Amino acid sequence: MSFILRPIDTVDTISPADFTENYLKPRRPLIIKGLTKDWPAREKWTPEYLKSVVGNKVVPLYDNSKADPSKPINAKAAEMPFNEYIDLIRSQPTELRIFFFNIFKQAPELINDIILPKDLMGGFIESMPAMFFGGSNSVTFLHYDIDLPHIFHTHFIGRKHVILFENKWKRRLYCLPNATYALEDYDVLNPDTEKFPALEGVEGIEAFLEHGDTLFMPTGWWHWMKYLEGSYSLSLRAWDASLTRKAASLYNLAVKGGVDSLLKMTFKGDYARYREKVAIKWANRALAAGKPY
């Protein structure tokens, strides 16, 4: 059985009142297919157009390999001129992806092609729109965002497979201590529940994004993503109105960011092995209690 995945709620449009009551307040994911219908980017941001505005700027690239405990979690695997990278992902399968790329610094005029969905909620971090690009073999490992924003994630050109888990399941997902990601030894699509028994029965949500779709990912939700074709996405981030959530964000950045990085650099493999043992202990304890946490 492994994970229990249900399909995501999907709408063409949604009123602010409906969104707030049924998705923002209870922190439930949603796909809004028509949110970008008035965005110039929906038709304008073709691969050729993005190549023309970003050009040959060299960008760092990442692959699907397991994180090296002695390096930052997002240590690059390679680098390449942006226009050559776009040609690569559109012509052949590759693991290589671009992570958290602020394309608007390279081409400020692109900001005029999107519309922040301020009618649905406030708190948007206008300085932090980011794009993500991937080839058809690219996978974004299972994690949640350390600063705990709400995310409006709009996809372009191809399709993307997404699996989401509420944060309450983090121990059953083998979350590593001082981290916002899990053990990387299991396949999210086909987890080995004999080796990782706590994964059995974990409840999640499955989604498939198509061109122009916007995924609302509430604060703290775990996400795993696989590019099914060479394509790209734009993430708009917004703060939760709760002061408690803002405090948790600052704690995560200080402890799960700063302290974790320091321990990894200092103790390297020993620290990695320690964290894995603790994650397994936590997962087994939660499973025995019959709870997500």
pLDDT tens for each residue of 166-214: 999 999 999 999 889 998 778 999 999 999 999 999 999 999 999 999 9
Domains of the chain: 4-289 (2.60.120.650)
Q: Indicate if the pLDDT at residue 30 is higher than 80.
A: yes
pLDDT of residue 178: 87
> Could you tell me what percentage of the chain is helix, strand and coil, using 3-state DSSP and rounding each to the nearest 5?
30, 25, 40
Q: How large a percentage of the chain has pLDDT more than 70?
A: 96
Q: Indicate if the pLDDT at residue 293 is higher than 70.
A: yes
pLDDT of residue 65: 80
Q: What is the mean pLDDT of residues 209-222?
A: 98
Confidence of residue 251 (pLDDT cuts 50, 70, 90): confident
Which residues, at least 6 apart from 115, have a Cβ–Cβ distance to it below 8 Å? 38, 39
Q: Which structure tokens are listed for 7?
A: 């399909």
Sequence-separated contacts (24+) of 72-76 with Cβ below 8 Å: 72/261, 73/181, 74/99, 74/100
pLDDT of residue 269: 83
Of 4-8, 269-273, 286-290, which gets the smallest average pLDDT?
269-273
pLDDT of residue 72: 52
pLDDT of residue 202: 97
Q: Which structure tokens are listed for 247?
A: 């405090």
Q: Indicate if the pLDDT at residue 237 is higher than 60.
A: yes
pLDDT of residue 272: 87
pLDDT of residue 66: 64
Q: Indicate if the pLDDT at residue 69 is higher than 80.
A: no
Confidence of residue 117 (pLDDT cuts 50, 70, 90): very high
pLDDT 10s digits, 35-49: 999 999 999 999 999
What is the average pLDDT score of the chain? 93
Buried b (16+ CB within 10 A) or exposed e, 204-213: bbebebeebb
pLDDT of residue 250: 86
Q: What are phi and psi of 217, to 5 degrees?
A: -110, 110
pLDDT of residue 136: 96
Q: What is the DSSP string of 15-51?
A: -HHHHIIIIITTT--EEETTTTTT-THHHH--HHHHH
pLDDT of residue 67: 58
Q: How large a percentage of the chain has pLDDT more than 90?
A: 78
pLDDT of residue 74: 57
Q: 167, 186, 147: which is closest to 276 by C-alpha?
A: 186
Q: What is the mean pLDDT of residues 71-92?
A: 87
